[in-house]
Amino acid sequence: FAPAGATLREYQTQDEANNDLVAGRIDAIEADDIAMKDFLNTEAGKACCDMKGTVVDDQDVLADGAGIGLRKSDTELKEKLNTAIKGIRANGKYAEFNKKYFDFDIFGD
């Protein structure tokens, strides 16, 4: 975006970026789709802003989505987390939670 003439800013939190957008100090935000939809459903978001598009799904930029960071040596914790995720997907709790809070499958498969 910078080569096209945009001035880029980085923020410590999404709320800071949203506040600058509402105040007119910036013209646009690129952020996580879920976070943006939540913001656009607030009174401030509804009053000021519209979603104009999404970023192309580019593996070099976005990789495979969100993850959990662990120390490489912490294989026991990794296995516990993987087992827990598989368990809630198998017993239906994941689907129950997903349906309650999202209108799409956040797992992404």
pLDDT in tens, 60-88: 766 666 778 899 999 999 999 999 999 99
Three-class secondary structure assignment of the chain: CHHHCCCCCCCCCHHHHHHHHHHCCCCCCCCCHHHHHHHHCCHHHHHHCCCCCCCCCCHHHHCCCCCCCCCCCCHHHHHHHHHHHHHHHHCCHHHHHHHHHCCCCCCCC
Q: Rounded to 5 degrees, what are φ and ψ at 4? A: -90, 0
Same domain, 22 and 49: yes
Q: How many CA atoms lie within 13 A of 58 on its CB side?
A: 5
pLDDT in tens, 8-20: 999 999 999 999 9
Residue 25 pLDDT > 60, yes or no? Answer: yes
Residues 10 and 39 in one domain: yes
Q: What pLDDT band is residue 105 in, cutting at 50, 70 and 90?
A: confident
Higher local confidence (pLDDT), 27 or 62: 27
Q: What pTM, to 2 d.p., does this model score?
A: 0.62
Parent domain of 42 = 2-57
Domain tally for the chain? 2
Q: Give pLDDT, residue 109.
A: 57
Tell whether 49 and 70 lie within a shared domain: no
Query: Is the same domain home to 50 and 73?
Result: no
Mean pLDDT of 29-43: 88
For residue 5, the one-letter residue type is: G
